[in-house]
Structure 1
Amino acid sequence: MPQHPPTTRFVSANGLKLAYDTFGDADAQPLVLIMGLGTQMIAWDEAFCEQLAARGYRVIRFDNRDVGRSTYLDAAGLPDIGQLLARTLAGFAIDAASVPYTLADMAHDTVGLLDALDIPSAHIVGASMGGAIAQEMALRHPARMRTLTSIMATSGAPDLPPPQPEALQVLLAPAPTDRAGYVARYQQVMKVLRAGSDAHEEALDAPRAERAFERGLNPAGYARQLAAILASGSRRERLGSVSTPTLVIHGDADPLVPIECGRDVVRHVSGARMVNIAGMGHALPQSAWTPIIDAIAGHVA
């Protein structure tokens, strides 16, 4: 935790209120961090952001719609995740009009953030669902991107290896809404996603969960974001048109989005390259920060 955490600010973007903060020199090259499913911007740890900013970038992180302190789309209702999953597993496409929003809409949110901050283009880094949003941004708004870094994300192709059963179970299980239950659940989820014991990270889980709880939980928003992932389908066939310089970072122990999913992105984006983080699961542990930051800084340079 930095001595002086940045001030959370708000902008109007794409018809929403988005919460964000920044690190580094305001005149440096902008680098935007997009977080994953149901996860607040604080999952991009302040010290991680500061180390990235120290490489010469204006680092911007924000809460996606329906999470943290950004707008909750409660009026959009609650999607039937069971039905959507059943259709997906049966190989049927989901009509985008049948869900509250898609990953393309969330990519447009990121563009709206850039508009509000008067940033013509930025380096875009996304993790998990955030990586998929960044891919959609490269497909739909290439002029707004200087580079793309897709971390532990998939192309969405249905023939790729699925999550390990335990990882899928923690993804779909409802989170408790009381403080003690939420903290315990968070600890359980992170232990599964990290794919192994890590005493240092496990000691940080409770305070991280407490902080997320204090900023605000939105279980319905989690469901809407998951519906957006399911309804957005595969990007594989379109990735060949991506012209943005692309880096893929993936852990070889990822139990939720197996590394073959990252390799699929590399295979289909012309000129993309991959950095494999040995032993990393579906998380950003401090032990992996240096190779991740080195890879991002090398790519955007």
Structure 2
Amino acid sequence: MSDVHVSEELFAPVGGGVELCYQTFGDPSADPLLLVMGLGGPMIWWDDEFCKLLAGKGFHVIRYDNRDTGKSSHVRGRVRRPDLVRAFLTGRGAAPYGISDMASDGIGLLDHLAIDSAHVVGISMGGMIVQTMALDHPGRVRSLTSIMSTTGKRSVGWQDPKLLPRLLAGKQVDRQAYVDTSVAFAKLIGSPSYPEPTERATKRAEDTFDRGLNGPGVLRHMMAVLTQPNRSKALHSLTIPSQVIHGLRDRMVHVSGGRATSAAIPGSELLLVDGMGHDLPPELWESVTDAIRRTADRGNI
């Protein structure tokens, strides 16, 4: 896939004073595919080779840093850790922005690129965002793939409570300390059947640190996730082709979230992966990209 064209990192104003950093892979005349990453994750968490694999399957791939991530705009608004704990327990609280705002960011990026509609794929919080794109911006989404995510209903897709203290602890500002804690957390939530080599996790953490950390932004992301609405009923209205992918060993978002998402979207396909946790191991890239292509093809008919 070395012959796939990869753009430089570019910037797009998307409204509300927010500017997104983005990058594209493949032929601009191919099917547009927007990739949306999860909580606190920069666009480089969509691995270059994964993006090239998608480009090789006929997509013009667009990945971007969400607001408050990487090189995209940092947004104001203080979130205290007691507020997060309260939101975790009750689902209520004052968030500086919500999932709908982040969905509008992605649509703003499509506007900047003069793309009328696109296939969308989201992981974890990114899955919540792409679901919301489809609901808030009908006609802009051709097909939807939601990976290791949930509907916003509090009785499904729950998080292992043992993970909360680690999430609230924040990341160390010292580079090596950040790398060490990130590698340990990745191992904790990763796929038991597809263990990630330490070298790979270390390189991702180093690249993430060097790209620029935004600790307060991660807290704002968390608040948006914890206070999101229950989309279960609204998802019943979707008529676009949809695919839901979830690991059976996910500790970050329980597989009940994926099952509920698929049940809520009429005609959606559900792919449950044995031994998969809250990551996307290279061993699964072929089957995942095939599922994305298959879903997109249903939307191109």
TM-score for the superposition, normalised by structure 2: 0.93
- C-alpha distance in 2 between matches for 1:124 and 1:161: 21
AA aligned to 2:80 is: D
Which string of whole-angstrom CA distances, capped at 9 and with x for unpartnered residues, describes residues 216-254 of structure 1?
000000011111112223211221122222110111110
Question: How big is the shift at 1:169?
Answer: 3.4
Aligned ranges 1:177-192 → 2 under 5 Å: 177-192=173-188
Structure 1 runs (4+) deviating above 2 angstroms are 1-6, 80-85, 165-173, 195-203
The match for 1:131 is 127
Change (3 A) 1:282 1:45: same
Question: How big is the shift at 1:296?
Answer: 0.7
- C-alpha distance in 1 between matches for 2:243 and 2:193: 28
1:264 to 257, 260, 265: 260
Change (3 A) 1:201 1:282: same
Change (3 A) 1:284 1:170: farther
Residues 1:55 and 2:51 aligned together = no
The match for 2:147 is 151
- C-alpha distance in 2 between matches for 1:127 and 1:199: 19
Change (3 A) 1:200 1:87: closer
> Identity of counterpart residues, as a percentage?
41
The match for 1:19 is 21
Aligned ranges 1:270-285 → 2 under 5 Å: 270-285=266-281
Which string of whole-angstrom CA distances, capped at 9 and with x for unpartnered residues, describes residues 267-292 of structure 1?
11111111112211000111111111
The 8 Å contact of residues 191 and 279 in structure 2, kept in 1 or not, is answered as no
The match for 1:140 is 136
Change (3 A) 1:40 1:231: same
- C-alpha distance in 1 between matches for 2:188 and 2:203: 18
Change (3 A) 1:161 1:68: closer
Q: 269-278 vs 49-58, which deviates more?
A: 269-278
The match for 1:166 is 162
AA aligned to 1:70 is: S
Aligned ranges 1:97-116 → 2 under 5 Å: 98-116=94-112
The 8 Å contact of residues 33 and 59 in structure 1, kept in 2 or not, is answered as yes
- C-alpha distance in 2 between matches for 1:104 and 1:12: 17
Which string of whole-angstrom CA distances, capped at 9 and with x for unpartnered residues, describes residues 8-49 of structure 1?
011111231110001010111100000000000000000000
Question: How big is the shift at 1:197?
Answer: 7.4
Residues 1:85 and 2:81 aligned together = no
The match for 2:67 is 65
TM-score for the superposition, normalised by structure 1: 0.93
The 8 Å contact of residues 40 and 63 in structure 1, kept in 2 or not, is answered as yes
The 8 Å contact of residues 190 and 196 in structure 2, kept in 1 or not, is answered as no
Change (3 A) 1:87 1:215: closer
The 8 Å contact of residues 66 and 102 in structure 2, kept in 1 or not, is answered as yes
The 8 Å contact of residues 194 and 276 in structure 2, kept in 1 or not, is answered as no
The match for 1:37 is 39
Change (3 A) 1:168 1:84: closer
- C-alpha distance in 2 between matches for 1:52 and 1:282: 20
Q: 62-71 vs 186-195, which deviates more?
A: 186-195
Q: 110-119 vs 162-171, which deviates more?
A: 162-171
- C-alpha distance in 2 between matches for 1:219 and 1:265: 29
Change (3 A) 1:62 1:157: same
